[in-house]
Structure 1
Amino acid sequence: MLKNISKLAVGFFICTLVLAVYVQDEQFKHWQVQTHFYPIAQEQDELIATINGQQTLVEPLVPFAQSQLSESSPKDFAYFTPQWVKMPDEKIAYVTASYHFGIWSLLPAIATIAICLITRSPLPALLAGIAVGTVMLSQNGLTGGVLIPALAQEGAVFLLILYLWLLGGLLGMWSKTGAAKAFADYMTKTFVKGPRSAKLVAWTLGIIFFQGGSMSTVLVGTTVRPLADKAKVSHEEMSYIVDSTASPIAALIAFNAWPAYIQALIFIPGVTFLATEADRISFFFSSIPFSFYAILAVVGTLLLSLNVTMFAGKRIRMAQQRALTTGELDAPGAKPLSTKSLQTVEIPAHYKAHHLEFVLPLIALVLTAVATFVLIGTPEVTWAFSAALLVSVVIALSKGMSFVEVFQGIGAGLKGMIIASVILILAVVIGGLSQQVGGGLYLISLLGESLPYWLLPATLQLLTMAIAFSTGTSWGTYAIAFPLAMPLAWAIAQSQGVTNPEVFMMICFATVLNGSVYGDQCSPISDTTILSSMTTGCDLMDHVKSQIFPASFAAILAGALWTLCALWLA
């Protein structure tokens, strides 16, 4: 059986690699010029643009008549250089040229996801997808052309420091000191009386830590893992609750970095209610009632926490029954991302654990993240996890643990996180490659202004779901979709005489926001999907397969609600 699976995976990889060689020819490239409008302020004699939270000098500023945009038919977009252009209406735009390979742009994502489903192993699937994308982009070798440059980037170094060293070290310390077990014992005696109360604690923490993204996922997952295991909650249930609460709740309780990031992507010249940064942030919050997928996703995890499995799907119901009847938290043949070294407690004989050794590092983590968010406008995640690890080490040393024992605990944590960290970095690489080959750009280009206005919200939902699923990132999808989808929605609203264009724009905005959350949440190459599996001890593909049904059920209901709202309210 295993031999047949391996042959099928190898055969599929060879086929996609041959197709990649075929596609890499220049004739398959479809170029598209994009104009991006960013908030611009004048400081003394200089113009400063704010792009994704970073300030950039606007220079040189080229008049429209002298720009490449003024050429009616540029001969070769491959030589189109990004430039700041002063448009005829006096607005300043950053102009770039991007390309896609048509439907072939989806090839790296298809190769990755298909091989992941065939082998149930993310490592070979990610490497296969990266190889396919590398060939399509004609890079100079998989190692020298893609992997080494990717590992040298700031984002990859950040992932290594955060998830390998800091998170691994913290989990190792909790295992070495017995803090996780002591916390689980305390919670079991005080609050958790069974699987339902354990799941409700996980859901509540997901609501409390509403910042979203990887930090919320890691924080909730690592906190609830010991008490959920003790209460015999299946890993599929717990990973679904953690994953399907983290990002959806961030879209609903949006007092986080999301509005500031997204508002810069939705400026449309001439649209008064999107004119200023304050207008666009207000528009974001006004659109929250239309975030139907996020609302249904959070309600779905609450229902599962209450043991209502009617909408959870067959896989989660089977996992729940397995845990209740056999005590097995994983499916047969499962390969959890977190290794057993993090689950084995080897407390020194002279050391007595206390539940506060688990709680105090978490408090330090949250306080550091909140303080940095208040003081400098963004939560410094590495500072937060560094503070947590430092507090854990100081407590252990003050209670008599030796330096050697402390480093043994940290070392065990690092070993336990190596595979998961490698998978996480490769997922980031394949996501970047998918964007480079233009998968999202191709899907958005399928739309046209002739589409009936009431079909646009559901269409945008499907496209952003596909983009985020294939790239593994919601924020990356926002960067691709919002600058294209919002002007299209406005053009359709004007050309088809929509009665309430602002409401229609809110509905379309919510579909892009929520469709991206769904795709990111369900993608096997998403950081939040991987981290949800890793921190709760679940097999990655078991998590993906069990989560896809309830998430898709919520997405279908949300799509129907957006369509009805477009017909009745817009």
Structure 2
Amino acid sequence: MKLISERHNHVALFVFVIGLCCALYINKNVEKTWVEQSYIYNIYTSDSGLPAYKYKDQEIVITNSVPYHESLLSQENLNKRQLPPQLEQQWVVDDKQQLTLLKPAFHFSLWSLLPAFITIALCLLTREPITALFSGVVVGAVMLGEYNLTDNVIIPNLAKEGTAAILLLYLWLLGGLLGVWTKTGAAQAFADYMTKHFVRGPRSAKVVTWLLGILFFQGGTMSTVLVGTTVRPLADKASVSHEEMSYIVDSTASPIASVIALNAWPAYIQALIFVPGVAFLATETDRLKFFFSSIPFSFYGILAVVGTLLLSLNITKFSGKRIRAAHHRAATTGELDASNATPLSAKELQHCNVPEDYNPHVLEFFIPLLSLIAIAVVTFIVYGSPQINWAFGSALLLSIFIALGKGMSLVNVVDGFGNGLKGVVVASVILMLAVIIGTISKEIGGGLFLVSQLGTQLPFWLLPVILQLMTMVIAFSTGTSWGTYAIAFPLAMPLAWAICESQGLTNPELFMAVCFATVLNGSVYGDQCSPISDTTILSAMTTGCDLMDHVKSQIAPASLAAGLAAMLWTLTVLVFA
């Protein structure tokens, strides 16, 4: 085993060196291919009589625009350029007086996939995500000519609002909450209570996990963290393998959000799917209606959730050999991790260290948890998006005040909080690097290159599967479904409409709905299975699983669901479009 590990490390080093040499070559010799990116906003007339739109609740007035054919950022003019365009963005007006924001983007053709390829290859070879992610960041930075990695790449990305929010939530709030719950014994008390009243063994523990995943259908990081954090104590007590738990948590979080779409997804995605001249996508209301009418075609989301239900019921036939092996190991030996696993959750969060004079109570878990859920739901209703930091912040403060009110010393509370921070610091570093490499992958245009390879001459019945495969690759390479939506939808939807018109389909709205669903679901699959995705990392972290064990065990059942979905999409357009 040691010799195999050393051989893999040597191969990994060779792969990194080759990747670095390729990055230097690309930076010096490969020309950028510039691509027009268009953004459609809901434009209205402001009080000043000028066109305006809302961005992050702020009114932005459009003071000037130019005809599309005169814009330096139109595709025709970008094709003539060798140097980067001087404008970062420009508002243009087309022949139908539609205002569109143009921004330039570029790609290095197939080379744009190099950082993601290096990262994923090293993850598989070394099973060490920090080294793999950092190597991908280095390769991507060199491709862009950013040799001052600290000042020009890492610090600017860490200083972004979104990255700072991740640090606040997953390092301070989540880590602190888990640490306090461990110190007060609240998590163990919850596990004891659930075991006594609801959980009778591994199957019922997994069913409870699945039901919570359905209940918290907001999707993304919040669902993953909330469900994983809640079920970890009872699942460990019921001897459920960490591979099974991380798969159930991960494969219900985003897939269920695409099926029960009463969340922030429709509002975000509808702005990306406007197609000029398409009546059923003309207004925001039309696009929202189209989104919900497309939900029955979210075959991957439906099949993924059914797959986790089958596993929860101990039906492992469709789960893949790795999950079957993990299930058998936990059932026969009680070992929740493989012998060579390195769980993301540190020792500080795996064992209770309750002071001798302190009596834990299950309400110390339930009250903060109910506060967390209530704030998330109320803020979603009020603001249209759940305020995750408020929710976890309130839960943390409640846990601290309850512990102090029951007589725990401030020293012990702070000790638990500190242990919680230590317990998630490695996972937080992985998240930071994943955010950085996602930003770099987007900047060098891997997704743009993949989408640009499509053409209107494709047979119509082949387009849904090609869009599915393409978004799977983009999301897997960048670790983000929402980022993939921003890349793919503005390109895929006009392409689907062009194929409808050129090939004379009798039911174009259904065909567009299927293509929409393939982009939506393909992105979910890629994000869910990517080792650099925040939801993948958090699923492993909150359930205590080794990251690469989670990735490898999840790919088989997820790919089975994706394959079945591809067949259903193809049959749907062949029969009904």
Same fold (TM over 0.5): yes
Q: Distance in 2 between matches of 1:71 and 1:195?
A: 61
Report the AA paired with residue 34 of structure 2.
W
Partner of 1:269: 276
Q: Distance in 1 between matches of 2:456 and 2:75?
A: 23
Instruction: Report if aligned partners of 1:64, 1:70 keep a CA contact under 8 Å in 2.
Output: no
What's the CA shift for 1:319? 0.2
Partner of 2:182: 175
Matches of residues 10-29 of structure 1 in structure 2 within 5 Å?
A: 10-25=13-28, 27-29=30-32
After TM superposition, the score normalised by the length of structure 2 is 0.97
Instruction: Report if aligned partners of 1:364, 1:388 keep a CA contact under 8 Å in 2.
Output: yes
**Considering only aligned residues, what root-mean-square deviation do their CA atoms show, in Å?**
1.3
Partner of 1:278: 285
What's the CA shift for 1:155? 1.3
SS at match of 1:548: helix
Give the paired residue count.
570
Report the AA paired with residue 141 of structure 2.
T
Q: Distance in 2 between matches of 1:134 and 1:367?
A: 42
Runs (4+) of structure 1 exceeding 6 A deviation are none
Matched, 1:558 2:565: yes
Matched, 1:418 2:425: yes
Change (3 A) 1:70 1:381: closer
> Which of residues 135, 142, 163 in structure 2 aligns to 1:128?
135
Change (3 A) 1:177 1:308: same
Structure 2 unmatched ranges of 5 or more:
none
What's the CA shift for 1:156? 1.4
Instruction: Report if aligned partners of 1:266, 1:482 keep a CA contact under 8 Å in 2.
Output: yes
Matched, 1:56 2:60: yes
Partner of 1:242: 249
Partner of 1:462: 469
What's the CA shift for 1:80? 4.9
Matches of residues 301-312 of structure 1 in structure 2 within 5 Å?
A: 301-312=308-319
Q: Distance in 1 between matches of 2:295 and 2:164?
A: 34
What's the CA shift for 1:76? 3.9
Change (3 A) 1:399 1:339: same
> Which of residues 393, 403, 417 in structure 1 aligns to 2:410?
403
Instruction: Report if aligned partners of 2:35, 2:75 keep a CA contact under 8 Å in 1.
Output: no
Structure 1 unmatched ranges of 5 or more:
none
Instruction: Report if aligned partners of 1:80, 1:96 keep a CA contact under 8 Å in 2.
Output: no
Partner of 1:352: 359
Partner of 2:264: 257
Matches of residues 94-493 of structure 1 in structure 2 within 5 Å?
A: 94-493=101-500
Q: Distance in 1 between matches of 2:235 and 2:30?
A: 55
Matched, 1:540 2:567: no
SS at match of 1:422: helix
Change (3 A) 1:449 1:312: same
Residue identity over aligned pairs, in percent, reads: 63
SS at match of 1:477: helix
What's the CA shift for 1:49? 2.3
Instruction: Report if aligned partners of 2:259, 2:302 keep a CA contact under 8 Å in 1.
Output: yes
What's the CA shift for 1:75? 3.0
Q: Distance in 1 between matches of 2:109 and 2:528?
A: 25
SS at match of 2:266: helix
Q: Distance in 2 between matches of 1:77 and 1:517?
A: 36
Q: Distance in 1 between matches of 2:211 and 2:75?
A: 55
The C-alpha deviation readout for 1:178-198, integer Å capped at 9, x for no partner, is: 000010001000000000000
What's the CA shift for 1:39? 1.2
Matched, 1:31 2:34: yes
Matched, 1:496 2:499: no
Instruction: Report if aligned partners of 1:370, 1:379 keep a CA contact under 8 Å in 2.
Output: yes
Matched, 1:6 2:17: no
What's the CA shift for 1:411? 0.5
The 10-residue stretch of structure 1 (361-370 or 23-32) with the greater mean CA deviation from structure 2? 23-32
Q: Distance in 2 between matches of 1:77 and 1:556?
A: 43
What's the CA shift for 1:229? 0.2
Q: Distance in 2 between matches of 1:53 and 1:448?
A: 37
SS at match of 2:240: coil
After TM superposition, the score normalised by the length of structure 1 is 0.98
Q: Distance in 2 between matches of 1:298 and 1:53?
A: 34
Instruction: Report if aligned partners of 1:38, 1:267 keep a CA contact under 8 Å in 2.
Output: no
Q: Distance in 1 between matches of 2:54 and 2:308?
A: 37
Instruction: Report if aligned partners of 2:36, 2:75 keep a CA contact under 8 Å in 1.
Output: no
What's the CA shift for 1:25? 3.0
Change (3 A) 1:11 1:70: closer
Report the AA paired with residue 529 of structure 2.
C
Change (3 A) 1:488 1:173: same
Matched, 1:93 2:97: no
Partner of 1:79: 85
Report the AA paired with residue 6 of structure 1.
N
Q: Distance in 2 between matches of 1:538 and 1:56?
A: 45
What's the CA shift for 1:336? 0.4
Q: Distance in 1 between matches of 2:510 and 2:57?
A: 27
